[in-house]
Chains A and B, each alone.
Chain A
Amino acid sequence: MNCEQLAERLTDLLEGDLDSDEEAAAVEHLATCASCELVLAETREVIGLARDHGRVSLSSDDQDRLWSRLIGEVGSD
């Protein structure tokens, strides 16, 4: 596997969607290619940032207010 092929398969590698031969080829390439290894590490870092900081939260007061609005629209017995 070369750099271009690894870039094409990066998402599959991260998703665990490569078959065993492809994964072995990717690992082999990464062991000898610092730039691809850096891209992989940085991509993992971005995924972690998105997971940990990417949600615009809604306060519990806002959640309660929106729930009241919703119940006002649909009605409740």
Chain B
Amino acid sequence: MPRSVVVWVEELYRAHVAGVYNVAYRVLWNRGDAEDVVQATFVKAFLRVGQLADPAKVRAWLLQVAYREAIAILRRRRDLPTNPADMPSQVATSMGPAELAVASAVAAELSAALYKLAADERVAVVLRDVEGLSMREVAEVTGVGLSAAKMRVHRGRQSLRVLLENSEVRS
């Protein structure tokens, strides 16, 4: 692989690997499989290097590949072990001990609530509210129309609101 291509893909990788991993994990709830999705996604980036020139589109493209790879793993392995308690760290390491404890508790409670959502609604919320894609990009990534994407985000948010209603994470 030419050095210039490796440098270019590494820039993409460093900018987007956290989002790719997050989308994969929220579909699969399994670290090892989410890492396999990261691998498969950026292998495809190497293969498509000439077609990813538009920086405005590359993020949605990567998340779409990750989402499809994750769904493919799910379909191949119906018995996939999932464990929302077996979560990697979700908090910034620059926080102090007290902030870390609070942030970890919030992240864990939110994660448990996300886990309870319908899969299509969870992915829509993750793409829109966590990864910051536009509603149109959410529709493209998940392969549905704009109104369906909006409905999934709406239902996911409302389910989260109810699930977290009596939670201490809410101010």
Where the two chains meet, the residues of A that have a C-beta atom closer than 8 Å to any C-beta of B are 10-12, 15, 39, 42-43, 45-47, 49-51, 53-59, 62-63, 66-67, 69-71, 73-77
Number of A-B residue pairs with CB-CB distance less than 8 Å in the complex they form:
117
Assembly CA distance A15 to B154 (angstroms): 11
Cross-interface CB contact of B111 among A56, A66, A77, cutoff 8 Å: A56
| B2-36 to A contact mask, C-beta < 8 Å, 1/0 | 11001000100110011101100110000000010
* Inter-subunit contact A57/B90 (CB<8 Å): yes
Which residues of chain B (89-126) have a CB below 8 Å from chain A?
89-93, 103, 106-107, 110-111, 114, 125-126
Assembly CA distance A11 to B38 (angstroms): 31
User: What are 8 A-B pairs at a CB distance below 8 A?
Assistant: A15-B150, A39-B161, A50-B129, A53-B110, A54-B129, A57-B89, A59-B88, A71-B6
State whether the Cβ of B133 lies closer than 8 Å to any Cβ in chain A.
Answer: no
- Neighbouring A residues of B143 by C-beta, 8 Å: none
* Inter-subunit contact A53/B90 (CB<8 Å): yes
State whether the Cβ of B72 lies closer than 8 Å to any Cβ in chain A.
Answer: no
- Neighbouring B residues of A39 by C-beta, 8 Å: 161
A76 and B130 in contact, given A53-B90, A53-B103 (Cβ under 8 angstroms): no
Assembly CA distance A29 to B154 (angstroms): 19
State whether the Cβ of B60 lies closer than 8 Å to any Cβ in chain A.
Answer: no
* Inter-subunit contact A54/B6 (CB<8 Å): no
Assembly CA distance A63 to B87 (angstroms): 16
A46 and B157 in contact, given A51-B132, A69-B39 (Cβ under 8 angstroms): yes
Assembly CA distance A10 to B146 (angstroms): 15
CB distance from A58 to the nearest CB of B (A): 5
CB distance from A59 to the nearest CB of B (A): 7
CB distance from A69 to the nearest CB of B (A): 6
Assembly CA distance A22 to B89 (angstroms): 42
A49 and B164 in contact, given A56-B21, A70-B39 (Cβ under 8 angstroms): yes
* Inter-subunit contact A77/B90 (CB<8 Å): no
* Inter-subunit contact A46/B22 (CB<8 Å): no
